[in-house]
Amino acid sequence: MKSNRRDLYEQLRKDYPFFVYEGFSYALDDSGLSISFDFNLSDKYHFRPEIRLPLPDKIRGDILSDSLIRNIIFNMGMIELLSYWKAACPPKLIIKTISLTEKQSEWWKKLYLNGLGEFFHENGIQPGHDFIQIEADGGVYMQKQAFEGNDEVLVPIGGGKDSVVTLELLSDKRNCRPFIINPRKASMASAEIAGFKEEQIIRLSRSIDPNLLELNAAGFLNGHTPFSAMLAFTSVLVAAIYGIGEIALSNESSANEPTIPGTSINHQYSKSLDFEEDFRDYISEYVTGGIDYYSYLRPLNEIQIAGIFSGFNAHFPSFKSCNVGSKTDSWCGACPKCLFTYIILAVFLTKDQLTDIFGEDLFEKEILLHPFEQLCGLANEKPFECVGTLDEVNAALREIIKNCNGELPFLLQHYAKHPEKEVNTVEGMASFLTAFEPNHIPSAEDIQLLKDKIHAL
């Protein structure tokens, strides 16, 4: 629920006028590569988040002296610091030991502003372009490094339907490596069901400094940060260490739609095409030209992805797209993400199949009325979740109602009382099933595979 914490925001910026990125360190031990970042909030609170990446012996050689690895880790810290900076939103960000060009600083300010759009909106804050001043004159500029990756594809896995589709399709034709941050049962199952052995799955653990949790409990500012941007830089690190030449994300065209209509506020900003293109440019100009980052599902919308996923029934018992139930590896059955996934799959699956997956008929749950109205546009705002566009949801609901036999369940009855939603989706289901958006997929063969799949829907 949106709150107005503008006064708190202004007071915290006075009380904590600067945030410092002191530096980072990394070392090899028996368990692999350990990375830590050093941040401080106006010399009053200190944070040291950590990342650990197990490594096979054969690639442990000269990692510590590799300037490309050092460059990537520095940039990982630039996005990691957001989780801690946002507690008080200091007006000045000081980067020690490393210098940034003015163009780089502007790049980061754009990411911070757009990536924190939901955070600012939910706290009733309206930041200007001057919400942060970046001082980065440590005297050393990170230099772009040559790198020649192999023909493998790194595929980040989250445990939901999207990364399942990417992994299943690409691994049919390409040599893929699944990559998981903070593995859970659903994400591991996605890779294993797709045919990968445990030793083939690259796993990374990321921890939050407990001092941040104490600030959150004490009433400091808190909210959403662009995790997918952290995933982007972390994926580049893994690709560089393993010698992998491509990173294939699973972000669809639907992620481009703002969460708040008529604004640039987008819960999925770091999954959007805008971020993808900015990130590709940044990596190519300041890090290396040897790693190709793109989203394999960018040409597709949520309806098409659901249609393709419906053919991978081996994943039905294990995949999970619910953030609320992520810790217990379950569907909570009460959040917008559960309901959206139910709606989009209901176009292609039977009621019995859906009940097997979710454990109940979500269309009969009256407590889901508000998120239902958010998803289809009967409310003023979409939910701050990774969900499809309003048009996709409305097209799906009309298709489901058209094919429904017998009395409509509660939510569909409610929807049928609002025929005005027809004006928001003048295109039929066929137009969604055949759509194909611009993309950066480097392989013509991989693009054709996607086209063949959607033509078969």
| pLDDT computed for residue 204 by the predictor | 97
Helices (H) and strands (E) in the chain, counts: 18, 11
For residue 220, what are the domain limits?
A: 6-157+180-295
Could you tell me if residue 346 is inside a domain?
Answer: yes
| pLDDT computed for residue 426 by the predictor | 46
Identify the bridge partners of residue 176 per DSSP, sorted by sequence position: 153
Percent of the chain with pLDDT over 90: 83
For range 10-29, the mean pLDDT: 96
Residue pair 243/150 in contact by the 8 Å Cβ criterion: yes
Could you tell me if residue 300 is inside a domain?
Answer: no
Whether residue 253 sits in one domain with residue 113 = yes
Of the candidates 180, 205, 183, 212, the residue with the CA atom closest to the CA atom of residue 82: 212
For range 15-40, the mean pLDDT: 94
For range 253-268, the mean pLDDT: 89
| pLDDT computed for residue 288 by the predictor | 96
pLDDT reading at 166 higher than 50 = yes
Which of the listed residues 295, 316, 339 is the one where a domain comes to its end? 295
Could you tell me if residue 305 is inside a domain?
Answer: no
Residue pair 281/111 in contact by the 8 Å Cβ criterion: no
For range 424-448, the mean pLDDT: 85
pLDDT reading at 262 higher than 80 = yes
**Mean pLDDT rounded to a whole number for the chain:** 93
pLDDT reading at 318 higher than 90 = yes
Could you tell me if residue 317 is inside a domain?
Answer: no
Percent of the chain with pLDDT over 70: 97
For the whole model, what pTM was predicted?
0.95
| pLDDT computed for residue 423 by the predictor | 38
> Strand runs (DSSP E) across 257-322, as ranges?
292-295
406: which residues sit within 8 A by CB, 6+ positions away?
A: none
pLDDT digits (tens, 9 = 90+) for 77-102: 999 999 999 999 999 999 998 999 99
Which of the listed residues 256, 276, 295 is the one where a domain comes to its end? 295
d(CA 119, CA 298): 25
Could you tell me if residue 197 is inside a domain?
Answer: yes
Which of the listed residues 295, 312, 336 is the one where a domain comes to its end? 295
For range 285-289, the mean pLDDT: 96
For range 359-375, the mean pLDDT: 96
Whether residue 89 sits in one domain with residue 15 = yes
| pLDDT computed for residue 408 by the predictor | 94
Whether residue 197 sits in one domain with residue 67 = yes
Q: 61: pLDDT confidence band, cut at 50, 70 and 90?
A: low
Residue with the bigger pLDDT between 423 and 60: it is 60
Q: 419: pLDDT confidence band, cut at 50, 70 and 90?
A: low
Could you tell me if residue 448 is inside a domain?
Answer: no
pLDDT digits (tens, 9 = 90+) for 208-244: 999 999 999 999 999 999 999 999 999 999 999 999 9
Q: 424: pLDDT confidence band, cut at 50, 70 and 90?
A: very low
d(CA 162, CA 185): 16
| pLDDT computed for residue 152 by the predictor | 96
Long-range contacts of 370-379 (CB under 8 A, 24+ apart): 371/335, 371/336, 371/339, 372/339, 372/411, 372/414, 372/415, 374/336, 375/336, 375/339, 375/340, 375/343, 376/415, 376/421, 377/421, 377/424, 378/418, 378/421
